Protein backbone atom coordinates (compact mmCIF):
# COMPACT_ATOMS: atom_id res chain seq x y z
CA UNK A 1 0.00 0.00 0.00
CA UNK A 2 1.40 3.39 -1.02
CA UNK A 3 1.91 6.12 1.56
CA UNK A 4 0.04 9.42 1.62
CA UNK A 5 3.24 11.30 0.76
CA UNK A 6 3.85 9.07 -2.27
CA UNK A 7 0.30 9.62 -3.48
CA UNK A 8 0.72 13.40 -3.14
CA UNK A 9 3.85 13.35 -5.27
CA UNK A 10 2.29 11.05 -7.84
CA UNK A 11 -0.85 13.14 -8.32
CA UNK A 12 0.59 16.60 -7.65
CA UNK A 13 -1.36 17.17 -4.43
CA UNK A 14 0.06 19.96 -2.25
CA UNK A 15 -0.66 20.45 1.44
CA UNK A 16 -0.13 18.94 4.87
CA UNK A 17 -3.48 19.65 6.47
CA UNK A 18 -4.59 16.78 8.77
CA UNK A 19 -8.11 16.71 7.24
CA UNK A 20 -6.65 16.46 3.73
CA UNK A 21 -4.28 13.68 4.83
CA UNK A 22 -7.17 11.79 6.41
CA UNK A 23 -9.20 12.01 3.18
CA UNK A 24 -6.26 10.63 1.19
CA UNK A 25 -5.75 7.83 3.72
CA UNK A 26 -9.40 6.76 3.32
CA UNK A 27 -9.03 6.79 -0.47
CA UNK A 28 -5.93 4.57 -0.26
CA UNK A 29 -7.63 2.15 2.14
CA UNK A 30 -10.85 1.77 0.14
CA UNK A 31 -9.16 1.54 -3.30
CA UNK A 32 -8.49 -2.25 -3.35
CA UNK A 33 -12.19 -2.99 -2.68
CA UNK A 34 -15.25 -2.52 -4.92
CA UNK A 35 -17.08 -0.38 -2.36
CA UNK A 36 -18.97 2.66 -3.72
CA UNK A 37 -17.50 5.99 -2.61
CA UNK A 38 -19.09 9.43 -2.29
CA UNK A 39 -16.70 12.40 -2.33
CA UNK A 40 -18.11 15.57 -0.80
CA UNK A 41 -16.77 19.10 -0.57
CA UNK A 42 -17.26 22.61 -1.85
CA UNK A 43 -16.82 23.57 -5.48
CA UNK A 44 -13.17 23.96 -6.42
CA UNK A 45 -11.54 21.89 -3.64
CA UNK A 46 -10.20 19.23 -6.04
CA UNK A 47 -12.65 16.36 -5.55
CA UNK A 48 -11.79 14.94 -8.98
CA UNK A 49 -8.36 13.75 -7.69
CA UNK A 50 -9.89 11.19 -5.29
CA UNK A 51 -11.57 8.92 -7.90
CA UNK A 52 -8.34 8.92 -9.93
CA UNK A 53 -6.40 7.78 -6.86
CA UNK A 54 -8.96 5.07 -6.10
CA UNK A 55 -8.93 3.77 -9.68
CA UNK A 56 -5.13 3.77 -9.98
CA UNK A 57 -4.71 1.76 -6.75
CA UNK A 58 -7.49 -0.74 -7.50
CA UNK A 59 -7.42 -4.04 -9.40
CA UNK A 60 -9.35 -2.21 -12.15
CA UNK A 61 -6.45 0.15 -12.96
CA UNK A 62 -5.85 -1.45 -16.38
CA UNK A 63 -9.52 -1.11 -17.36
CA UNK A 64 -11.29 2.06 -18.45
CA UNK A 65 -11.83 5.09 -16.23
CA UNK A 66 -14.66 7.40 -17.36
CA UNK A 67 -15.53 10.72 -15.72
CA UNK A 68 -19.08 12.00 -16.30
CA UNK A 69 -20.30 15.49 -15.35
CA UNK A 70 -23.95 14.78 -14.58
CA UNK A 71 -24.83 18.46 -14.32
CA UNK A 72 -23.65 19.22 -17.86
CA UNK A 73 -25.80 16.62 -19.65
CA UNK A 74 -29.37 17.70 -20.57
CA UNK A 75 -32.12 15.84 -18.74
CA UNK A 76 -33.59 14.47 -21.96
CA UNK A 77 -30.39 12.71 -23.07
CA UNK A 78 -28.69 11.67 -19.81
CA UNK A 79 -30.26 8.18 -19.77
CA UNK A 80 -29.01 7.59 -23.31
CA UNK A 81 -25.51 8.83 -22.38
CA UNK A 82 -25.24 6.62 -19.29
CA UNK A 83 -27.07 3.47 -20.38
CA UNK A 84 -27.14 3.69 -24.21
CA UNK A 85 -30.11 3.38 -26.57
CA UNK A 86 -31.47 1.21 -29.33
CA UNK A 87 -31.98 2.32 -32.90
CA UNK A 88 -35.30 4.14 -33.24
CA UNK A 89 -35.76 4.55 -29.49
CA UNK A 90 -36.42 8.26 -30.02
CA UNK A 91 -36.24 10.90 -32.71
CA UNK A 92 -32.66 11.12 -33.97
CA UNK A 93 -31.64 7.65 -32.73
CA UNK A 94 -30.44 6.45 -36.15
CA UNK A 95 -28.27 3.67 -34.75
CA UNK A 96 -27.70 1.66 -31.58
CA UNK A 97 -25.38 3.34 -29.07
CA UNK A 98 -23.47 1.95 -26.09
CA UNK A 99 -23.68 3.97 -22.86
CA UNK A 100 -20.90 4.73 -20.40
CA UNK A 101 -21.81 1.84 -18.10
CA UNK A 102 -21.47 -0.62 -20.97
CA UNK A 103 -18.21 0.88 -22.26
CA UNK A 104 -16.63 1.01 -18.78
CA UNK A 105 -17.46 -2.62 -17.94
CA UNK A 106 -14.72 -3.87 -15.64
CA UNK A 107 -13.50 -0.35 -14.91
CA UNK A 108 -14.48 2.72 -12.91
CA UNK A 109 -17.04 5.47 -13.53
CA UNK A 110 -16.75 8.83 -11.78
CA UNK A 111 -20.15 10.57 -11.53
CA UNK A 112 -19.39 14.22 -10.81
CA UNK A 113 -22.26 16.40 -9.54
CA UNK A 114 -24.33 13.27 -8.90
CA UNK A 115 -26.87 15.39 -6.98
CA UNK A 116 -28.05 16.84 -10.31
CA UNK A 117 -29.30 13.50 -11.64
CA UNK A 118 -33.07 13.36 -12.45
CA UNK A 119 -35.13 11.07 -10.22
CA UNK A 120 -35.84 8.67 -13.10
CA UNK A 121 -32.12 8.26 -13.75
CA UNK A 122 -31.52 7.76 -10.03
CA UNK A 123 -33.80 4.68 -10.15
CA UNK A 124 -31.75 3.21 -13.01
CA UNK A 125 -28.50 3.93 -11.17
CA UNK A 126 -29.80 2.27 -8.00
CA UNK A 127 -30.49 -0.92 -9.96
CA UNK A 128 -26.90 -1.00 -11.23
CA UNK A 129 -25.58 -0.55 -7.69
CA UNK A 130 -27.79 -3.37 -6.40
CA UNK A 131 -27.28 -6.07 -9.02
CA UNK A 132 -25.30 -4.59 -11.93
CA UNK A 133 -28.28 -4.72 -14.31
CA UNK A 134 -29.52 -2.00 -16.67
CA UNK A 135 -31.73 -1.48 -19.71
CA UNK A 136 -30.84 0.56 -22.75
CA UNK A 137 -33.34 3.25 -23.70
CA UNK A 138 -35.92 1.63 -25.96
CA UNK A 139 -34.82 -1.93 -25.12
CA UNK A 140 -36.43 -4.69 -23.06
CA UNK A 141 -33.30 -6.84 -22.84
CA UNK A 142 -31.54 -6.72 -19.46
CA UNK A 143 -27.77 -6.25 -19.64
CA UNK A 144 -25.11 -6.75 -16.98
CA UNK A 145 -22.12 -4.58 -16.14
CA UNK A 146 -19.34 -4.79 -13.58
CA UNK A 147 -18.47 -1.16 -12.81
CA UNK A 148 -17.00 0.54 -9.74
CA UNK A 149 -18.89 3.80 -9.06
CA UNK A 150 -17.27 6.79 -7.40
CA UNK A 151 -19.56 9.83 -7.09
CA UNK A 152 -18.98 13.44 -6.02
CA UNK A 153 -21.18 16.37 -5.10
CA UNK A 154 -20.95 19.88 -3.65
CA UNK A 155 -24.56 19.76 -2.42
CA UNK A 156 -25.85 18.99 1.05
CA UNK A 157 -27.35 15.60 0.26
CA UNK A 158 -29.40 15.41 3.45
CA UNK A 159 -31.18 18.64 2.48
CA UNK A 160 -31.68 17.35 -1.07
CA UNK A 161 -33.30 14.20 0.33
CA UNK A 162 -35.63 16.25 2.55
CA UNK A 163 -36.70 18.32 -0.48
CA UNK A 164 -37.39 15.19 -2.53
CA UNK A 165 -34.64 15.93 -5.06
CA UNK A 166 -32.54 12.86 -4.26
CA UNK A 167 -33.48 9.30 -3.31
CA UNK A 168 -32.51 8.32 0.21
CA UNK A 169 -31.84 4.66 -0.70
CA UNK A 170 -29.50 5.73 -3.52
CA UNK A 171 -27.64 8.09 -1.19
CA UNK A 172 -26.87 5.29 1.28
CA UNK A 173 -25.75 2.97 -1.53
CA UNK A 174 -23.41 5.61 -2.95
CA UNK A 175 -22.02 6.76 0.39
CA UNK A 176 -20.83 3.40 1.70
CA UNK A 177 -17.61 5.34 2.27
CA UNK A 178 -17.85 9.14 2.51
CA UNK A 179 -14.66 11.09 1.80
CA UNK A 180 -14.85 14.82 2.58
CA UNK A 181 -12.31 17.25 1.10
CA UNK A 182 -11.90 20.30 3.40
CA UNK A 183 -12.34 23.82 1.96
CA UNK A 184 -9.26 25.97 1.43
CA UNK A 185 -10.13 28.37 4.27
CA UNK A 186 -9.71 25.46 6.70
CA UNK A 187 -6.23 24.73 5.32
CA UNK A 188 -4.60 28.09 6.02
CA UNK A 189 -1.07 26.65 6.22
CA UNK A 190 -1.48 25.19 2.72
CA UNK A 191 -2.67 28.39 1.01
CA UNK A 192 0.76 29.99 0.54
CA UNK A 193 2.28 26.65 -0.52
CA UNK A 194 -0.33 26.29 -3.24
CA UNK A 195 0.11 29.90 -4.37
CA UNK A 196 3.88 29.44 -4.71
CA UNK A 197 3.36 26.24 -6.72
CA UNK A 198 0.92 27.97 -9.09
CA UNK A 199 3.22 31.01 -9.42
CA UNK A 200 6.13 28.73 -10.34
CA UNK A 201 4.03 26.84 -12.91
CA UNK A 202 2.86 30.04 -14.59
CA UNK A 203 6.37 31.54 -14.67
CA UNK A 204 7.48 28.50 -16.68
CA UNK A 205 4.39 28.55 -18.87
CA UNK A 206 4.65 32.25 -19.78
CA UNK A 207 8.47 32.40 -19.61
CA UNK A 208 8.74 35.21 -17.05
CA UNK A 209 10.19 35.60 -13.53
CA UNK A 210 8.20 34.08 -10.68
CA UNK A 211 6.05 36.48 -8.63
CA UNK A 212 6.71 36.75 -4.90
CA UNK A 213 4.37 37.92 -2.15
CA UNK A 214 5.47 40.40 0.50
CA UNK A 215 5.00 39.32 4.13
CA UNK A 216 1.88 41.44 4.60
CA UNK A 217 0.48 40.06 1.34
CA UNK A 218 0.98 36.51 2.61
CA UNK A 219 -1.07 37.35 5.72
CA UNK A 220 -3.82 38.81 3.54
CA UNK A 221 -3.73 35.68 1.35
CA UNK A 222 -4.23 33.41 4.37
CA UNK A 223 -6.99 35.52 5.95
CA UNK A 224 -9.14 35.59 2.80
CA UNK A 225 -12.05 33.08 2.80
CA UNK A 226 -11.51 31.79 -0.77
CA UNK A 227 -15.12 30.94 -1.66
CA UNK A 228 -13.87 29.44 -4.95
CA UNK A 229 -11.21 27.40 -3.10
CA UNK A 230 -8.19 26.06 -5.03
CA UNK A 231 -9.68 26.95 -8.42
CA UNK A 232 -10.01 30.61 -7.40
CA UNK A 233 -6.49 30.67 -5.89
CA UNK A 234 -5.05 29.32 -9.12
CA UNK A 235 -6.89 31.94 -11.19
CA UNK A 236 -5.62 34.75 -8.94
CA UNK A 237 -2.03 33.50 -9.22
CA UNK A 238 -2.33 33.35 -13.01
CA UNK A 239 -3.82 36.85 -13.28
CA UNK A 240 -1.09 38.41 -11.16
CA UNK A 241 1.64 36.52 -13.05
CA UNK A 242 0.42 37.85 -16.38
CA UNK A 243 -0.79 41.36 -15.56
CA UNK A 244 1.67 42.71 -12.97
CA UNK A 245 5.01 44.10 -14.17
CA UNK A 246 6.53 44.08 -10.69
CA UNK A 247 7.43 40.59 -9.52
CA UNK A 248 7.03 41.63 -5.88
CA UNK A 249 3.35 41.71 -4.91
CA UNK A 250 2.21 44.11 -2.18
CA UNK A 251 -0.96 43.69 -0.07
CA UNK A 252 -2.61 46.55 -1.98
CA UNK A 253 -1.90 44.87 -5.31
CA UNK A 254 -3.14 41.48 -4.08
CA UNK A 255 -6.30 43.01 -2.61
CA UNK A 256 -7.26 44.27 -6.06
CA UNK A 257 -7.53 40.65 -7.24
CA UNK A 258 -9.62 39.43 -4.28
CA UNK A 259 -13.36 40.07 -4.71
CA UNK A 260 -15.41 40.27 -1.54
CA UNK A 261 -16.91 36.94 -0.54
CA UNK A 262 -20.36 38.55 -0.19
CA UNK A 263 -20.31 39.38 -3.91
CA UNK A 264 -19.48 35.82 -4.92
CA UNK A 265 -21.86 34.08 -7.32
CA UNK A 266 -20.32 30.63 -7.02
CA UNK A 267 -22.53 27.52 -6.83
CA UNK A 268 -24.00 26.47 -3.49
CA UNK A 269 -21.63 24.53 -1.25
CA UNK A 270 -22.01 21.89 1.43
CA UNK A 271 -21.82 24.05 4.53
CA UNK A 272 -23.30 27.28 3.18
CA UNK A 273 -27.03 26.63 3.09
CA UNK A 274 -28.36 30.08 3.89
CA UNK A 275 -27.87 31.50 0.38
CA UNK A 276 -29.75 28.75 -1.41
CA UNK A 277 -33.20 30.08 -0.64
CA UNK A 278 -32.46 33.80 -0.81
CA UNK A 279 -33.46 34.30 -4.42
CA UNK A 280 -36.37 31.89 -4.10
CA UNK A 281 -37.74 33.82 -1.11
CA UNK A 282 -37.33 37.10 -2.98
CA UNK A 283 -39.26 35.68 -5.91
CA UNK A 284 -42.09 34.48 -3.65
CA UNK A 285 -42.33 37.90 -2.01
CA UNK A 286 -42.44 39.57 -5.44
CA UNK A 287 -45.25 37.27 -6.59
CA UNK A 288 -47.23 37.97 -3.40
CA UNK A 289 -46.88 41.74 -3.87
CA UNK A 290 -48.03 41.45 -7.49
CA UNK A 291 -51.07 39.37 -6.54
CA UNK A 292 -51.98 41.86 -3.80
CA UNK A 293 -51.70 44.72 -6.29
CA UNK A 294 -53.94 42.86 -8.70
CA UNK A 295 -56.54 42.32 -5.96
CA UNK A 296 -56.46 46.04 -5.06
CA UNK A 297 -56.90 47.00 -8.72
CA UNK A 298 -59.89 44.69 -9.02
CA UNK A 299 -61.42 46.34 -5.92
CA UNK A 300 -60.91 49.79 -7.44
CA UNK A 301 -62.53 48.71 -10.70
CA UNK A 302 -65.45 47.22 -8.79
CA UNK A 303 -65.96 50.47 -6.88
CA UNK A 304 -65.74 52.46 -10.13
CA UNK A 305 -68.50 50.37 -11.67
CA UNK A 306 -70.65 50.85 -8.59
CA UNK A 307 -70.17 54.63 -8.84
CA UNK A 308 -71.58 54.55 -12.36
CA UNK A 309 -75.01 53.49 -11.13
CA UNK A 310 -74.95 54.20 -7.38
CA UNK A 311 -78.01 55.81 -5.87
CA UNK A 312 -76.92 55.90 -2.22
CA UNK A 313 -73.88 58.24 -2.22
CA UNK A 314 -73.31 57.89 1.55
CA UNK A 315 -72.94 54.12 1.20
CA UNK A 316 -70.47 54.59 -1.65
CA UNK A 317 -68.54 57.09 0.52
CA UNK A 318 -68.16 54.48 3.30
CA UNK A 319 -67.04 51.78 0.83
CA UNK A 320 -64.48 54.19 -0.63
CA UNK A 321 -63.00 54.94 2.81
CA UNK A 322 -62.80 51.20 3.58
CA UNK A 323 -60.97 50.58 0.30
CA UNK A 324 -58.49 53.39 0.96
CA UNK A 325 -57.67 51.98 4.40
CA UNK A 326 -57.16 48.55 2.83
CA UNK A 327 -54.73 49.86 0.21
CA UNK A 328 -52.76 52.30 2.37
CA UNK A 329 -52.80 50.34 5.62
CA UNK A 330 -55.06 50.04 8.65
CA UNK A 331 -52.86 52.22 10.82
CA UNK A 332 -52.30 55.92 10.31
CA UNK A 333 -54.20 59.10 10.76
CA UNK A 334 -57.96 58.79 10.51
CA UNK A 335 -58.00 62.40 9.55
CA UNK A 336 -55.71 61.77 6.58
CA UNK A 337 -57.88 58.88 5.43
CA UNK A 338 -61.02 61.00 5.63
CA UNK A 339 -59.34 63.88 3.85
CA UNK A 340 -58.30 61.50 1.06
CA UNK A 341 -61.82 60.23 0.85
CA UNK A 342 -63.15 63.78 0.71
CA UNK A 343 -60.88 64.59 -2.19
CA UNK A 344 -61.98 61.52 -4.08
CA UNK A 345 -65.66 61.69 -3.18
CA UNK A 346 -66.87 65.07 -1.79
CA UNK A 347 -69.57 64.91 0.93
CA UNK A 348 -73.15 65.05 -0.20
CA UNK A 349 -73.84 68.54 1.22
CA UNK A 350 -70.89 70.10 -0.64
CA UNK A 351 -71.53 68.38 -3.90
CA UNK A 352 -73.34 69.98 -6.80
CA UNK A 353 -76.19 67.76 -7.79
CA UNK A 354 -76.12 66.65 -11.40
CA UNK A 355 -78.65 64.56 -13.23
CA UNK A 356 -77.70 60.91 -13.25
CA UNK A 357 -76.89 59.79 -16.76
CA UNK A 358 -77.91 56.32 -17.83
CA UNK A 359 -75.06 53.82 -17.83
CA UNK A 360 -73.94 52.82 -21.29
CA UNK A 361 -72.76 49.32 -22.15
CA UNK A 362 -69.50 50.63 -23.62
CA UNK A 363 -68.42 51.78 -20.12
CA UNK A 364 -68.53 48.21 -18.84
CA UNK A 365 -66.78 47.05 -21.98
CA UNK A 366 -64.05 49.63 -21.26
CA UNK A 367 -63.63 48.23 -17.72
CA UNK A 368 -63.18 44.72 -19.10
CA UNK A 369 -60.49 45.95 -21.49
CA UNK A 370 -58.63 47.58 -18.59
CA UNK A 371 -58.69 44.29 -16.65
CA UNK A 372 -57.29 42.43 -19.65
CA UNK A 373 -54.47 44.96 -20.13
CA UNK A 374 -53.54 44.90 -16.45
CA UNK A 375 -53.42 41.12 -16.17
CA UNK A 376 -50.09 40.19 -14.60
CA UNK A 377 -48.11 37.51 -16.47
CA UNK A 378 -46.08 35.15 -14.26
CA UNK A 379 -44.23 33.98 -17.38
CA UNK A 380 -42.99 37.52 -18.07
CA UNK A 381 -41.79 37.82 -14.45
CA UNK A 382 -40.02 34.47 -14.70
CA UNK A 383 -38.26 35.58 -17.91
CA UNK A 384 -37.25 38.84 -16.22
CA UNK A 385 -35.83 36.98 -13.18
CA UNK A 386 -33.84 34.59 -15.41
CA UNK A 387 -32.41 37.49 -17.45
CA UNK A 388 -31.38 39.40 -14.32
CA UNK A 389 -29.74 36.32 -12.80
CA UNK A 390 -27.79 35.59 -16.01
CA UNK A 391 -26.64 39.22 -16.22
CA UNK A 392 -25.62 39.21 -12.55
CA UNK A 393 -23.61 36.02 -13.07
CA UNK A 394 -22.11 37.20 -16.39
CA UNK A 395 -23.83 34.46 -18.35
CA UNK A 396 -22.63 31.59 -16.15
CA UNK A 397 -25.56 29.19 -16.24
CA UNK A 398 -24.42 27.01 -13.37
CA UNK A 399 -24.11 29.96 -10.98
CA UNK A 400 -27.40 31.46 -12.21
CA UNK A 401 -29.22 28.14 -11.72
CA UNK A 402 -27.92 27.88 -8.16
CA UNK A 403 -29.03 31.44 -7.42
CA UNK A 404 -32.49 30.80 -8.89
CA UNK A 405 -32.87 27.62 -6.83
CA UNK A 406 -33.29 25.36 -9.88
CA UNK A 407 -31.09 22.76 -11.59
CA UNK A 408 -28.80 23.69 -14.46
CA UNK A 409 -30.81 21.48 -16.81
CA UNK A 410 -34.04 23.24 -15.88
CA UNK A 411 -32.41 26.63 -16.51
CA UNK A 412 -31.07 25.40 -19.86
CA UNK A 413 -34.56 24.22 -20.84
CA UNK A 414 -36.15 27.56 -19.91
CA UNK A 415 -33.46 29.47 -21.85
CA UNK A 416 -34.34 27.40 -24.91
CA UNK A 417 -38.08 27.74 -24.22
CA UNK A 418 -38.01 31.53 -23.92
CA UNK A 419 -35.28 31.96 -26.57
CA UNK A 420 -33.10 34.00 -24.22
What is the distance, to the nearest Å, from the Cα of residue 38 to the centroid of all Cα atoms in its chain?
Answer: 20
pLDDT at residue 328, as a whole number = 55
> What is the spatial distance between Cα 388 and Cα 400, in angstroms, rounded to a whole number?
9
> What is the spatial distance between Cα 176 and Cα 350, in angstroms, rounded to a whole number?
83
> What is the spatial distance between Cα 323 and Cα 295, in angstroms, rounded to a whole number?
11
**What's 378-418's CATH class?**
mainly alpha
Q: How many CB atoms lie within 10 A of CB 284?
A: 11
Pairwise pLDDT comparison (197 vs 320), residue with the higher score: 197
For β-strands 148-153 and 37-40, DSSP reports them as parallel
Contact at 8 Å (CB) between 15 and 193? Answer: yes
Beta bridge partners of 40: 153, 180
DSSP 171: H
Q: Residue 301 — very low, low, confident or very high, per pLDDT cuts 50/70/90?
A: confident
For β-strands 37-40 and 177-180, DSSP reports them as parallel
Name the phi and psi angles at 287, rounded to 5: -60, -40
Contact at 8 Å (CB) between 408 and 397? Answer: yes
Judged against a pLDDT cut of 50, whether residue 274 lies above it is answered with no
Tell me which residue of 104, 103, 108, 100 sits closest to 124, measured CA to CA: 100
Q: Is 1 exposed, middle or buried (0-12, 13-18, 19+ CB in 10 A)?
A: exposed
Q: How many CB atoms lie within 10 A of CB 335?
A: 8
Judged against a pLDDT cut of 70, whether residue 163 lies above it is answered with yes
Mean pLDDT confidence for 219-244: 95
Pairwise pLDDT comparison (281 vs 172), residue with the higher score: 172
346-361: per-residue pLDDT in tens? 444 444 444 444 444 4
* Architecture of the domain delimited by 184-263: Orthogonal Bundle (1.10)
Mean pLDDT confidence for 397-401: 84
Beta bridge partners of 133: 144
* Lowest mean pLDDT across 21-30, 143-152, 366-375: 366-375
> What is the spatial distance between Cα 34 and Cα 30, in angstroms, rounded to a whole number?
8
Contact at 8 Å (CB) between 325 and 339? Answer: no
Contact at 8 Å (CB) between 32 and 200? Answer: no
pLDDT at residue 374, as a whole number = 45
Judged against a pLDDT cut of 50, whether residue 169 lies above it is answered with yes
pLDDT at residue 351, as a whole number = 45
> What is the spatial distance between Cα 194 and Cα 45, in angstroms, rounded to a whole number?
12
For β-strands 142-144 and 133-135, DSSP reports them as antiparallel
Name the phi and psi angles at 108, rounded to 5: -130, 140
Q: 4-180, what's its fold?
A: Rossmann fold (3.40.50)
Q: Residue 345 — very low, low, confident or very high, per pLDDT cuts 50/70/90?
A: very low
Domains of the chain by residue range: 4-180, 184-263, 281-345+359-373, 378-418
Phi-psi region of 302 (alpha: psi -120 to 50; beta: other; left: phi over 0): alpha
> What is the spatial distance between Cα 286 and Cα 370, in angstroms, rounded to a whole number?
22
Residues 6 or more apart from 230 whose CB is under 8 A from it?
44, 45, 46, 184, 194
Q: Residue 340 — very low, low, confident or very high, per pLDDT cuts 50/70/90?
A: very low
Q: Residue 279 — very low, low, confident or very high, per pLDDT cuts 50/70/90?
A: low
Amino acid sequence: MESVQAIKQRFGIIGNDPKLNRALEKAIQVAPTDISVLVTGESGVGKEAVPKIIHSLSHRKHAKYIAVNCGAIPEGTIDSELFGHEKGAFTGATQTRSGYFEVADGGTIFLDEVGELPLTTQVRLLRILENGEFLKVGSSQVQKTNVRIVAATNLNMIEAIKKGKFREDLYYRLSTVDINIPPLRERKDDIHLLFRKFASDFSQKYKMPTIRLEDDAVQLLEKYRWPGNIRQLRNVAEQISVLEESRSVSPETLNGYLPHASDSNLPAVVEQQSRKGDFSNEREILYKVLFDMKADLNDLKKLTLELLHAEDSEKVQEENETLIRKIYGKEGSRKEENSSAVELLPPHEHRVEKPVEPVQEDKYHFAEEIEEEETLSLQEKEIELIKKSLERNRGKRKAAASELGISERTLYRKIKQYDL
